[in-house]
Structure 1
Amino acid sequence: MRCPTMTTELWPAPQPAVLTTVDGAARLPVYRLFFVGRNYHAHAREMGVAIDKATARPFYFTKSPVHLLPSGATLPYPSETHDFHHEVELVVVLGRGGHRVPVEQAHELIYGYAVGLDMTRRDVQLRLRDKGHPWCLGKDVEGSAVCGAVTPMPGHALSRGAIALTVNGTVRQRADIADLIWSVPELIADLSLFYHLQPGDVIYTGTPEGVAAVQPGDRLHGSVDGAGAVDVHIGPGL
């Protein structure tokens, strides 16, 4: 009788991405990172488009969870860009799964909220967009999904609260999440038509107007009333 063949991992498996609660008492394994594009009218206009909610639907892109970066970290300025932009966002963390969830029940999937930064190679994104190519190299950037600690609010749909970003103490972005084109429940319900949502799915809900470039040495601070804050330092390029 032959002995079973033993297999060996050729390199270490990646560590799972995790978020923590604001009190540090719980760790939240991250399953997927979803991002909503153009979910504030003023930001859509600064990107050269207008959104008519009566005829449009939300659209999404994803980032690999390996690109999640905790608040307080240093993010090296990425290669192949000269126009690296900040985008502050309300982040929704799901604690329950669901598929084809009615909008009236979507709040039941929510575990809590955080504040995030969707950092973007804007020049790369626009070059790819204008050619009709996917945006991956502009958006799915190493360390570009910055996220603060999670404030638990099970079953609660945030509908208002100031959102802001400063760079070196100067305000760059300021709005209210009441200005979201598609609300948090609407986003969850719509996304659940395409995916079987899972606990640990994370949704960055879109950024308000005022996106702009950062430089090595800049310090960013984002906040959303009731949801917390996020900080990141832009380091030199590698």
Structure 2
Amino acid sequence: MTAQSVGHAELKTRARERDEDNLKLKAENEALGQKRDRDAQITAAVNRDWTAVQPHLDNVLRETNVVLVQQRDVLMKDLDQAHRKNDDLQKLTQGLMEKQEDSESSNVAKLEKEQQELVQLRVRVSALGKAAEQADIQRKRLEHVRRAENRGRELKFEPGNDKLRAKAKALELTCNDMKPKIAKLQAVVQRARRTREAFVHRWDEIKRLTYSTHKEQQLLAALAEIVNEELLE
């Protein structure tokens, strides 16, 4: 085979490959054209749908915006009220703490005074009790003497018996005089006990109110934090 025939064969091969490439490009161009037509149809359909839906979406957005503004105003109002209530609670807590300190110091001084009075009363009651016991012993001795006299017995008294009888009589009178005082002292002791119980009850009530106020402050702080997060969102 000559060089010329080889050159013609190569040219034919290249021409055939070029024709095949051209056919492929033509097919691809046709496919792209069809795809472009489909995309144009889809775009037109989407535009028609958007044109139909857009007024409704605008209305929904406007209504949603109005609702959000109203909710924001309500939340701001609630937050403002929560801040005011928190301020009131802080003032109330401060007042309670000051009142608690004043009441505590006053009641402690009062209790100390009452305790001192109770100690003194106990000493006096103990002394009166011992005196009453001695008077009762002397009274029993005197009754024994009187019963002997009533039975007509002749008793030989020793020189100190007259003094003993006089002392027993005096102790009996003293005991009778002391009975109202003892009753009065017992009433004072009972009143002091009731005062102490009332103070303990008031103290427990103040602690309960302080704890309740603290819990309410924690709840308000949590509510304020939630409202702030919603406003930020």
TM range (shorter): under 0.3
TM-score (norm 1): 0.16
Between structures 1 and 2, the one with greater strand share: 1
TM-score (norm 2): 0.17
